[in-house]
Structure 1
Amino acid sequence: MSALWTSAEIAEATGGTVSADFEVSGVTFDSREVQEGDLFVAMPGTVHDGHKFVGKAIDAGAAGLLVSEPQDHPHVLVDKVDEALEALGRAARARLDDKAVVIGVTGSVGKTSTKEALYAALDRTSHGAAHRSVKSYNNHTGVPLSLARMPRETCFGVFEMGMNHAGEISALTRMVRPHIAVVNAIAPAHIENLGSIEAIADAKAEIFEGLEPGGTAIVPEASDQRDRLVRAARGLAERTLTFGGEEGDAAVLHAVPARRGTLVTARLPSRELTFTIAQPGEHWVSNALAVLAAVGVAGGDVAVAGLALADMGGLAGRGQRHAVPVNGGEALLIDESYNANPASMEATLKTLASEKGRKVAVLGAMKELGEEGPALHAALAAPILAAGVDQLVLVGDEMKALEDALSGQLAMTRVADADQATEALLSTIRPGDAILVKASNSVGLAKLVASVAGGQA
């Protein structure tokens, strides 16, 4: 394979000046992630300036630097590093020409899981020629970084786009320029900033603004915002496909729980397909329909994509499962600690309901819900009771409304933080328990998962 970037290509893309010739095999702006041969991008920051970590990056093996201050090491000097990274991302997208199919993914819940499933499906069907944004690099710095990392030999590119405010996805999608734009779900995440579920749908629909000519929009059929999304795609997408519900272009004909996940027979735009999804839960069935619809439009092999869905493991913080040793036995811990909103809480509680054994839920606050926060937290009482939760640990002041709504109906305790939640869980965990851990990322329950799944139970 050829170099990811040469210094001359970086300078041409960014308008910078080369101090010495070099080639790089990767790109990063985190000095802790530098690998041998990387380009280190010295991003400005509100807390730390990347230029302070140039020495650390060189020691770790960086082959070149993208900087706005002259250095004693091979570099490309630019006026503004953040703008240069965006330019490099655009250049990566431009050099694909018509050689690759690019897919953009957004949504209120499950977009990272959908992106990872799309990547797994297309990577298998292209024999390793797929690329995607890693982690949750979905904002104004993560998207251009993910683009800049895209090999020139890429056949399929999958990019996640997120937002906190209106207008953010509009800028991102114009960098990505997708051929296919997927909105996988609409839910009241970020409602504090956007004000209404309709405004959230409008902000997510901005992804259609970057569609290439002849592009396809893929939206959820069963969503209350379905018609709003379809209207937003008009004039921007050549065609719009829906998934889910009875009338979706990609829809479930039959689904049954399997020993591991769900066995599904689906009607797709091109054919019927029976496949297994490794991850349990109705939300994963919905995500899979979106994935298979996109794979079909992209020209991938949907049957091979179905095999990839069967092999997918859970992602850390997004459904990863851990067997936790407990007093000579084991408990199941389901790690959903990365994010939470009302829709994803209800979906994962349904998954917990299907598990065997005593059901324990450690639930932390859902952030960015604004004035509706107390009511939306209290509304979790019904799905918690429907899931048959036996023991409940609530984390954070925002969960007081839920505690009040459930008063006297099941065993529960409310604690202040992740450390106290860990103590509370360890004091109650038993062999055979099924434990769900879910909260917004800022609550910090990943720390609980690391402690308990690390064998301290």
Structure 2
Amino acid sequence: MPDTSARPLWTAAEVAAATGGVLHGDDRPITGVTYNSREIGPGDLFLALKGARDGHEFAGDAFAAGAATALVEHAVEGGAYVVVPDALHGLESLGVAARERAPHVKRGAVTGSVGKTSVTQAIKAGLDLAGPAHGSIKSYNNHIGVPLTLARMLVQTQRAVFEIGMNAPGEIAPLSRFVAPHAACVTTVGPVHIEAFSDGEAGVAREKASIFQGLVPGGAAVANGDVAFSDVLCDAARSVGARLLTFGTDAGHDARLLDFRPDAEGASVAAELFGQRIDYRLAQSGAHWGLNSLCVLLMLDALDVSLDTGLEALAGFQPLAGRGQTRTVTLADGAFTLIDESYNANPLSMAAGFKTLGARTTSGRRVVVLTDMLELGDQSRDLHEGLAAPIDSAGLDLVHVAGPEMRWLYDALPVSRRGVWRATAAELAAEAVMLVAPGDVVMVKGSNGSKASLVAKALADLQGRDMPPATR
């Protein structure tokens, strides 16, 4: 293959050719692609997408910030632009062109009710060690994020991984077809976005399994064999002729978890991979990372990454922001451990978090701070009340909650475990100094929309503070 390391991501003429658009102005090299005028860097292609605001309104700002070219639906002022009938469809065409001009790239796709962002980034860590790699950033997993991630893929990339999400039925399969992955996985299936499905988790399982519809012929389908709807995943993989690979705790899986032992620095894992015993370290201590790590290893194997490289990547892969990052918050007269799980939450991830917290050794209390789980439809009360059982199983000492849905859990808890309930996360955050004491291990978890991050930040900001006598 010729050396393409010096070539730009795109040129304006290439964008016009890929999208079927018409270039107005000079043909210029393009070094990046974005739809957010506030993120524009010199040489970027600005996408004038229509959302809550019309992106065309910000074309001038984008050019002023250094945009080389804009993809638009009508003429704009300030720089060169490519006119297409529909800017979103233009982005989709650009993503497909990026995929087709680099047929050598091994592509992976990840979905699941829990853990897809962390698993995607762990796979990306392994791909990075194996050679030039590309992947989703943040949670760019929807109808804009997936084609945008494709459009940003350099020709010299060897391997890439894409996160694929959904809010409603029928969204995953089209996104998977954009990616056309060589390997695709479902991390797990649970009651997430169930208000959009008349048959609850069964519908969620079918939607997640539809990621296999985009696989290239003979591609690998990696499925969680421990979930209640594993047969839905496996049947979907077989129906498209995929090479089925499963992970779980029972005998017969391609990757089988034998033992998971968390500690202060992460966890030690014992497993079998294709019948071979392997022992390895993780930088993650969350109980769910036992199976997550097996999913990662199967995906890396399917993308032609060696086992040694995969294990090296897992050993160094740290928890992401809001997804298990742990820090010591030093107070004037002691310290507590803060586990930030504030990015998102659902019943599955809640139970996993409680189990992780319960396994931590501490001289103080095991405290969990929770905000509402969202998009649970008419099952919300039952699912919030149902958190009391895994809290009890994990042996947690104290539970603080915020939000109208979490009131159901609060009332279901024994008085001995009840901390405080507040109507909003902001109210709870304002009382952060009263929620913890030196020696505690504290986990904050809730749906992003219910603002659990406000509480996590307030607790982190106690660094150096003196604690009132009531908390000691």
TM-score of the pair, normalised by structure 2: 0.93
Query: Per-residue deviation at 1:388?
Result: 2.8
CA–CA separation in structure 2 for the residues paired with 1:4 and 1:77: 19
Instruction: Answer yes or no: is the 8 Å Cα contact 2:262–2:359 preserved in 1.
Output: no
Equivalent runs, 1:292-331 vs 2, <5 Å: 292-331=297-336
Structure 2: how far apart are the matches of 1:188 and 1:254? 26
**RMSD of aligned Cα (Å):** 1.5
Please identify, of 329-338 and 340-349, the stretch whose mean Cα deviation from structure 2 is larger: 329-338
CA distance in structure 2 between the partners assigned to 1:39 and 1:329 by the alignment: 51
Aligned residue in 1 for 2:208:
204
CA distance in 2, matches of 1:150, 1:271: 35
Q: Secondary structure at the match of 2:383?
A: helix
Paired position in structure 2 for 1:437: 444
CA contact (8 A) 1:327 1:431 kept: no
Change (3 A) 1:416 1:231: same
How far apart, in 2, do the equivalents of 1:423 and 1:390 lie?
22
**Greater alpha carbon shift after TM alignment, 52-61 vs 179-188:** 52-61
Q: How far off its partner does 1:455 sit?
A: 4.4
State the identity as a percent.
Answer: 44
Between 1:264-273 and 1:326-335, the stretch displaced more is 264-273
SS in 1 for 2:337: strand
Unaligned runs of 5+ in 2: 466-472
**Residues 249, 258 of structure 2: 8 Å contact kept:** no
Deviation per CA, 1:25-75, whole angstroms, max 9, x where unpaired?
A: 111111222222211111111x21111222222232222211112123011
1:107-146 to structure 2, matched below 5 A, reads 107-126=112-131, 129-146=132-149
- Please point out which of 397, 401, 411 is paired with 2:404: 397
Write the letter of the residue equivalent to 1:222: D
1:94 to 90, 93, 100: 100
Name the counterpart of 2:470: none
The Cα of 1:270 is off from its aligned counterpart by: 7.2
Offset, 1:387 = 2.6
Cα distance in structure 1, aligned partners of 2:259 and 2:321:
29
Match of 1:410 in 2: 417
1:118 partner SS: helix
Deviations, residues 182-240 of structure 1 (Å, cap 9, x unaligned): 00100010111113111110000110111101111010111111111111111313310
Q: 2:74 aligns with which of 66, 69, 73?
A: 69
Q: Write out aligned runs for 1:312-391 (5 A).
A: 312-355=317-360, 356=362, 357-391=364-398
Aligned residues: 453
Is the 1:208–1:237 contact (alpha carbons within 8 Å) kept by the matching residues of 2?
no
CA-to-aligned-CA distance 1:320-368 (integer Å, 9 cap, x gap):
1122232243221111111111000000111111222312211011111
TM-score (norm 1): 0.96
Distance in 2 between residues matched to 1:323 and 1:57, nearest whole Å? 41
Post-superposition offset of 1:285: 1.1
Alpha carbons of 1:52 and 1:325: their partners in 2 closer, same or farther (altered >3 Å)? farther
Amino acid at match of 1:263: S
Q: Hey, what's the Cα distance between the residues in 1 that align with 2:257 and 2:315?
A: 16
Aligned to 1:299, the other structure's residue is in SS state coil
Inter-partner Cα distance in structure 2 for 1:106 and 1:298: 16
Aligned to 2:88: 82
Q: List gaps (5 residues or longer) in structure 1.
A: none
Kindly indicate whether the alpha-carbon contact (under 8 Å) linking 1:105 and 1:115 is maintained by their aligned counterparts in 2.
Answer: yes
The aligned amino acid for 2:29 is E
For 1:423 and 1:267, the matched residues in 2 are separated by 48
Cα gap change, 1:150 to 1:81, in 2 (>3 Å): same
Give the stretch that moved more between structures: 158-167 or 328-337.
Answer: 328-337
Query: Moved runs in structure 1, 4+ residues, more than 3 A?
Result: 454-457
Residue in 1 that maps onto 2:238: 234
Residues 323 and 332, structure 1, Cα contact 8 Å, conserved in 2: yes
- Alpha-carbon distance change, 35 to 447 in structure 1, aligned in 2, over 3 angstroms: farther
Structure 1 pair 397–323 and aligned structure 2 pair: CA distance change class (3 A): same
Kindly provide the amino acid, as one letter, of the partner of residue 65 in structure 1: A
> SS state of the match for residue 397, structure 1?
coil
Amino acid in structure 1 at the alignment position of 2:385: A
